[in-house]
Every structure is written in structure tokens, then in C-alpha cells.
Structure 1
Amino acid sequence: MESEKILENLEKIGFGRKEAEVFLELIKNPGGNGSQIAKALGYPRTTVYQNLDILQKKGYINSYLDKEITLYETMDINQIFEDYKKEVNNATNFLKEELKKVEVSGKQKQFYNLNSIEDIKDKFRAVLKKAEKIVYINTNLDLFEFEKELNKLKEKGIRVILFSFNHIEYKSLGVETYIRDSFNFNITESEKRIMVAADCSAAIIGSNYEGEFCGTYSENKLLANIVTEHIKNDIHLMKLEETFGKDVNKIITLEF
């Protein structure tokens, strides 16, 4: 019998070291009393009785009197481990569901790489589905690809604001659109970009100006606020151009 391996595995399922030793001793010599177990293990009787009490409370052993001496024996081993497996399965299933609901706390949220245009589109859909108040977008992606999600936001009365350099009409999707064409960009189909901020709590940035599409998603509030303010500033500058003309950029530069 590989006693050390048995003890190690008992520890893996929650036994303390001395609990495991007392338990194994009772399997080898059932019906022993505290003094006999202490002598066999070389521990003080107080230590053995403490561990016997723990094992009994856990339901792993039973005690009975014989001529006024308390004797101990293990419960049915098969039943012990069947009960243990059920408890572990129940606890695991409970934790899998409940831990999904736990709010992530802390000052810093993680940043996640998005390695393809499809990854970015999938994350964009997820952000739209979770939006509750307002979404800011700067992109030349075709928003009709996200018609289902945008119509849901429209039904809920959630404001969606788009800044773009491309003349595309999205009123049917409930998107508040601001177009700035003063730079006369000639953006080809292969040159795509996106910036999104939802509720100042989640953001996406992505582009493929340097070849393969890549991007970042985060629930970092600082990044979400930066993206929000960037899009707001683009809209504000566009409105200044409409009021004062395209030379407003020179005026702002000189004043600054």
C-alpha cells in the first residue's frame, strides 16, 4: 500500500495532513481508540482527539462506546467519496453560473486584441447589444451590416451618434450622422477604420492602414472617455467649419 500517495491525495480533496493520517490509520485498524491511534502515529493524544473530532463533524468517521471506551471507525468509503463527488459537482456548477454574474472591480480593466475584421465586427455587435444610454461611432464600415443591433437601440430610444468622412444615409437606422468631407479623403474599400465608445464604459479602436486588420477592445473607462471626447471634438470642429469656413483650422492653430 502506497501510504504517502494516499495521504497526498486525501490532502488534495480537503483533508488536513493529520486528519488524513488518522483517517488512514482507522482504515488499517478499524475500531481503535484515541490512545491506540496516538501510539501508532506517534502524536499526542490531544492532537489525535482534535482530528478525530474534525473527521466526525465532516461525516467521515463514526464513534461508539464499548465498555465505556470510545472507539472509532470510518464510514463506508464508497459512500464518502460518492457524496464528495456530488458536493464537488454541485459546487462547481453553482460557481460556474454565479461567477459569471460577479461585477469586475478595480481601477484598471484589461485590453483585448482583435486580430481580424470579423473579430472587430463581432465585438462591435456585442457592444451595441450592451449599450444602455449613448454610443459614439467614427467609422467607414457599412453600418447596414449592423442593422439588427442598431434597430434594437432605436426601439429602446438609445442615442447613436456617428461621425464620418463618407456620405452615407443612416436615418432609417436611427443614427444621428455628422459628415465632414473637408479633407476629401479617398478611402478605398481596403482601408477601413473604426472607433466606438458606449456609455463611456467600453471602447473599440481598429484599422488596417498598415496592412492586416487589428484592433483593441477594453472596458477601461479612460480609453472609453478618450474615444468619446475625440469623436465629440471631430463633430465640434465640423460645426465650426460649417459656420466659419474651412480656414477655421488655420485660425484655431494660430490662436493656440
Structure 2
Amino acid sequence: MVENEKILENLEKVGFGRKEAEVFLELIKNPGTNGSQIAKTLGYPRTTVYQNLDILQKKGYINSYLDKEITFYKTMDLNEIFENYKKNVESATKFLKDELNKVGVSGKQKQFYNLNSFDDIKDRFKTILKRAEKVVYINTNLDLFEFEKDFKKLKEKGVRIILFSFNKTDYANLGIEAYIRESFNLNVTDSEKRIMVAIDSTAAIIGSNYEGEFCGTYSENKLLVNIVTEHIKNNIHLMKLENQFGHNINKIITLDF
């Protein structure tokens, strides 16, 4: 029997968000359950589950019915769902292929895309990790063990994963080249989480929970990618200088204006 993780990964490939896929799979296993039951099984807040149930219903993947004033959910016919998905993808692909070739827009300037939640940032991070071919630069205080499987696949491809952080964490088992500026050793709190990532000089993510809400930006704009890459490299370089010359490095490196 195919393991759940493999099913979830393939649902993501056909356009499901991670939590959408988990809720959808749970409904396949236990049709006719309500949001509270699903939340209890998956260990998610009920608000999160109901948000994803609403998304799935709007996409036409599930329907709902009332029984004694309680809303229950079940999936639509699976063959119908994926047959419709196949037709929609084929139709959309043909349209885009024909129409985008007519658009005479320069591809030199890449756009910036808003990431409006922590889940959006994590999902985008996982997506661009799969595209990495040479090196991944990371500056974060987030728990990276959540991405252990992704890092393992990168190491198998021979991709270097380079991390700079102010927070001491042992990532040796993840195959990460970690540079920790221990002189700071900041404590991670919910109000201070952040992430910066650059992939192969082709894509970048910047995100933090500014003012309590997680938000960020994703772009393939080369200027932003280079800024993120150089920022992380410079932090590593400064850390090495500090290790060599001591904390007085901050007095040695001064700028006179």
C-alpha cells in the first residue's frame, strides 16, 4: 500500500496545499466526518481545518450535508475529480501555450509575489528546494528539522546547503554546513522568527512574523536574489573574522563618513 506521505506529495503536485491534502486524505479514509473530528485526528486547530474544508468545497473536491445541525463532509467521486482536473489542465495548458507566445513582454524583469502566511512561506520554501541544483543559502532561526526529507534529497543530488544563524542548533544530521554566530545566541520567540533563502542565484524568499503576522516575499528577480546571497555570505565572513580577531572586530571595521 502506498504510504500517506507519498499520496500527500502527489496531491501537492496536482495543486493541493499541504493542509488541503491532509484534510482531503482524511475524508477519503473517514467519509462523513465533521471538522472537529478531522481537527482532532490531524492535530490542527479547528479554524485551520474549516478554512481548508471551505477551500476544498469551493474547488469542487468535497461536499457537505447537515445532520442534527452538525455539518459533515465527504469527498466527491474520485474518478470524476481527477478526470475533470486532467481536462482543465489540458485546456489551460493549450490556452497558455497559445496566448503567452503572443505576449511580447521581456522576461528580464521577474516579479515579486506576496506570501501571506507561515504556511505559504514553508510551502514555497519546499518548492524551491526541489529546484536547487548547486547551492542553497539560508539565514533563519526556524526549526529546519521539518525539512529533513527535502535536505536529504538535496544532499543525494550533491547540492550544498549553507546556513547562517544567530541561534545555536545542531544540524549535523541534516547534512547542513552551519555557521552559528554564538556570541549572539539569540532566543527564538514567536515575535522574532525569520527566514532568508537564496537558491542557485535564481530564486529567493524573505519572510518574518512582522507585528505578529507572518508575511514574506518570493521572487526570481536577480537583484533581490543577489542581495540575499551576499547578505548571508557577508554574515558568515564577519563571523569568521570575529572568531579570528575576537569581539573587537566591531571596532576594527568602522566606516568614516
Q: Where on the TM-score scale, by shorter chain, does this alignment land: which range?
A: 0.5 to 0.7
TM-score by length of 1: 0.59
* Cα pair 2:109 2:221 within 8 Å, conserved: yes
Mark the CA change 1:129 to 1:100 in structure 2 (over 3 Å): closer, same or farther. farther
Residues 1-256 of structure 1 correspond to what in structure 2 (within 5 A)?
92=91, 95-96=94-95, 98=97, 106-253=107-254
Query: Where does residue 81 of structure 2 map in the other structure?
Result: none
Deviation at 1:101, TM superposition (A): 11
Match of 2:205, SS state, is: strand
Separation in 2 of the partners of 1:224 and 1:118? 21
Mark the CA change 1:100 to 1:231 in structure 2 (over 3 Å): closer, same or farther. farther
**Deviation readout 1:53-107 (Å, 9 max, x if unpaired):** xxxxxxxxxxxxxxxxxxxxxxxxxxxxxxxxxxxx9x946625857998x9522
Mark the CA change 1:250 to 1:129 in structure 2 (over 3 Å): closer, same or farther. same
Deviation at 1:209, TM superposition (A): 3.5
- Which ranges of structure 2 fall in alignment gaps of 5 or more residues? 1-87
Query: Where does residue 10 of structure 1 map in the other structure?
Result: none
**Deviation readout 1:13-58 (Å, 9 max, x if unpaired):** xxxxxxxxxxxxxxxxxxxxxxxxxxxxxxxxxxxxxxxxxxxxxx
Match of 1:163, SS state, is: strand
* Cα pair 2:191 2:211 within 8 Å, conserved: no
Match of 2:218, SS state, is: strand
How many corresponding residue pairs? 166
Deviation at 1:183, TM superposition (A): 2.7
Deviation at 1:201, TM superposition (A): 0.8
Mark the CA change 1:108 to 1:149 in structure 2 (over 3 Å): closer, same or farther. same
Deviation at 1:191, TM superposition (A): 2.0
Match of 2:224, SS state, is: helix
TM-score by length of 2: 0.59
AA matched with 2:154? L
Deviation at 1:168, TM superposition (A): 1.0
Deviation at 1:179, TM superposition (A): 0.2
- Which ranges of structure 1 fall in alignment gaps of 5 or more residues? 1-88
Mark the CA change 1:217 to 1:246 in structure 2 (over 3 Å): closer, same or farther. same
Return structure 1 stretches of 4+ with deviation > 4 angstroms: 91-94, 96-102
- Percent identity, aligned pairs only, is 72
